[in-house]
Structure 1
Amino acid sequence: MKISKLAVLLSVACSAQLALAEQSYTLKVAHFLPANSNAQRNIIEPWCQQLTSESAGRLKCQLYPSMQLGGTPAKLADMARNGVADIVWTAPAYSAGKFPRIEAMELPFMLPVGAKASNPIIWQYYEQYARDDFKGYKVLSIHGDGGMDIHTRGKAVARLEDLKDLKLRASSRTAAKLVEALGAAPVSMPPAQMTESISKGVVDGALASWEVVPPTKLDEVTDHHSAIPAGQPAFSYTVLAMLMNPRKFDSLPEDLRAIIERNSGPALNERFATAWDSFLDKARNATPAEQMVAIDQPAYAAMREAASPLADAWAAELSDKGLDGPALLQGARKLSAQQSR
């Protein structure tokens, strides 16, 4: 009788394990851009398809673009932490003050243009200096937007003086401080509001990555796009992150966790970089040549000089909050210099 009961218990346990192994799981993935955006079509969707393929259909994604789960972009990080979404793709800077260390990667003229050049720097900085920012999350990717340029309507920006009295959309507090340092007035708003705001004259343009230009139709309401000298660091960056609810991750079977692991981190950053740079090039090349405004080296140098106090001010601000701001700034500059050689 004892042997029979043991056999039954073993059979039940094996059946339960088998059922768990065969069960399918759907991950709710939310982000702030439209469904036709480069991020969804060329990165998030193929990444999800990779998970589904490697798991033989047991791991799937349900995508919620354009904040379809409710809330604002500023709430995306909290939505992942609280389990409203299983995974979010967001800009940490949208949640002001919650991710202070990673802001070093958004400081003016810190990173080279292009995702392939900048993503390794951002990931290394995250691993060495900014992990504590992301406690409470399973970090799948930390990457950049390829660098921002100035897109304006009516007035071309080729020199520092051209920015005087302009109102420019800024994506983060760091970008807003840069806009202000350059002599313009920053206006904070999510990408979805840029086009309408420019068309109505609420703002004169935007400091934004070329990646958001086609999906937000920014190119339809702007007629000047300022280009910095080749080989120079970008005006600024928006750091972006794919964050997962850790409880959701831990609840998955071991083999499915392994699939997510090997398709995340540097592997996912490389996926972002490849699609990102291709899209940036395509967006730039589709812009009429007469709309491209060259910023020459002296004008660029003047802009860098105007923005130069911002980095030390940022470091001092973090020190006031109990963090080692100067060390974080030095680490960011060191990584950027090493990668840019």
Structure 2
Amino acid sequence: MMRSWKALRAGLMATVVAAAIGSAQAQEVTLRVHHFLPATSYAHTMFIQPWCDKIAKDSNNRLKCQIFPSMQLGGTPPQLYDQVKDGVVDVIWSLPGYTAGRFPLSEVFELPFMMRDAEATSKALWDYVQQHAPSEFKDVHPIAFHVHGPGVFHMRDKPIRTMADFKGLKLRAPTRQTNRFLAALGATPVGMPVPQVGEALNKGTIDGAVVPYEVVPAVKIHEIVKFHSETDPSEPAFYTSTFMFVMNRAKYDSLPPDLKKVVDANSGQALSGQIGKTFLAADAEGKKLTAKNTTNVIGKDELQHWKKAGEPVVEAWIKDVDARGANGRQLLEAAKALIAKHSAAR
């Protein structure tokens, strides 16, 4: 009788465990993905939606996205990080630089003239965060980090050709390091998220904006400005911005093991590089829309003056990071070495 009861209990427990496992394996999850650009933007159509399609395919449609572009769930772009950290949403795409000073170690990639290639630099950024700044993103689960292509000056009334042209201009920039660099060049920097750029240009609140070409159609910049000033492509870009694609940590932890594997397989260094490459392709598309306007290239010799002007910006970042207990110069060299490593591997 005792043996029969033990056998029955063991059978019941096995059934319960099997049912639990089966339930977990059959679980369907919908991730709420929030970002600040419209659904027509290249970021949405060429990166975010394809990523969501990929995890749905890899999970046999058990892991899906519900994407909310243009801040449809409320708040402002600088609030996106707290929304995902606090579980208001499950995944966000945004710029760390929208919350100035919150991610100081990662800002090294936004210093003047750091990036030559968005794909290689995006891979370097992922590695850098894992090796040198994981604590900055400890409250979320990182999926990818990336940068965009070379920044371009989009000007209402006159182009940028030399440093002298910056005097008296109000220029929009996305991050505090780019703002500091514009000030060093002689302009008056105006910080604002991308969605506000179109209206500010229309009203004349700003004289121009620095964004990559991929942003052009999202805010219709090509319809508002007359001039586009690029920097010599043989030189590093005068600036780039860092981006984060991250998930709520508790949401990731709650996923069944097989769905975690799907997320993991669609995360990391390779994805980061792929996004950087995608943004370069989006630049090419965005630039086509500016054909009716005037474009000039700022020459290599002129850029040497800009590099000199940017040196105090770099030194200020090093000093700031040192004051936080890190070694700023070592981190700068580590970032440069990772960029060089991934650039050489291409």
Say yes or no: TM over 0.5.
yes
Q: How does 1:57-96 map to 2 (within 5 A)?
A: 57-96=61-100
Aligned to 1:10: 14
Aligned to 2:123: 120
**Contact between 1:147 and 1:238, CA under 8 Å: does it hold in 2?**
no
Question: Could you give the per-residue CA deviations for residues 10-60 of structure 1, whole angstroms, max 9, x where no partner exists?
Answer: 212211221221121001111111111111111111111111111111100
Is 1:132 the counterpart of 2:138? The answer is: no
2: distance between equivalents of 1:56 and 1:181? 53
Aligned to 1:250: 253
1: distance between equivalents of 2:341 and 2:246? 27
2: distance between equivalents of 1:177 and 1:263? 35
Deviation for aligned residue 1:323: 2.2
Deviation for aligned residue 1:339: 4.3
**Contact between 1:117 and 1:339, CA under 8 Å: does it hold in 2?**
yes
Aligned to 2:330: 327
User: Which consecutive unaligned segments of at least 5 residues does structure 1 have?
Assistant: none
> What is the root-mean-square deviation in Å for CA atoms of aligned residues?
1.5
Aligned to 1:270: 273
SS at match of 2:190: strand
Aligned to 2:57: 53
Deviation for aligned residue 1:334: 2.8
Aligned to 1:288: 291
SS at match of 1:277: helix
Aligned to 1:226: 229
2: distance between equivalents of 1:275 and 1:7? 53
SS at match of 2:15: helix
2: distance between equivalents of 1:7 and 1:146? 60
1:217 is aligned, of 217, 220, 223, to 220
1: distance between equivalents of 2:284 and 2:240? 17
Deviates more, 1:267-276 or 1:60-69: 267-276
Deviation for aligned residue 1:316: 0.4
SS at match of 2:317: helix
Deviation for aligned residue 1:284: 1.8
1: distance between equivalents of 2:270 and 2:202? 39
Give TM-score scaled by structure 2 length: 0.94
Question: Could you give the per-residue CA deviations for residues 219-248 of structure 1, whole angstroms, max 9, x where no partner exists?
Answer: 111111111112211111110011111111
Deviation for aligned residue 1:340: 4.6
**Contact between 1:31 and 1:67, CA under 8 Å: does it hold in 2?**
yes
Give TM-score scaled by structure 1 length: 0.95
Aligned to 2:153: 150
2: distance between equivalents of 1:147 and 1:124? 21
User: Which consecutive unaligned segments of at least 5 residues does structure 2 have?
Assistant: none
Is 1:34 the counterpart of 2:56? The answer is: no
Letter in 1 for 2:303: Y
**Contact between 2:146 and 2:273, CA under 8 Å: does it hold in 1?**
no
**Count of paired positions:** 340
Deviation for aligned residue 1:289: 6.7
1: distance between equivalents of 2:101 and 2:162? 32
Deviation for aligned residue 1:294: 1.7
1: distance between equivalents of 2:13 and 2:337? 59
Question: Could you give the per-residue CA deviations for residues 49-81 of structure 1, whole angstroms, max 9, x where no partner exists?
Answer: 111111111100011111122111111111111
2: distance between equivalents of 1:337 and 1:89? 26
2:108 is aligned, of 104, 107, 116, to 104
Deviates more, 1:137-146 or 1:114-123: 114-123
**Contact between 2:147 and 2:240, CA under 8 Å: does it hold in 1?**
yes
Deviation for aligned residue 1:120: 2.1
2:309 is aligned, of 299, 306, 311, to 306
SS at match of 2:133: helix
1: distance between equivalents of 2:185 and 2:239? 12
Aligned to 2:180: 177
**Contact between 2:172 and 2:189, CA under 8 Å: does it hold in 1?**
yes
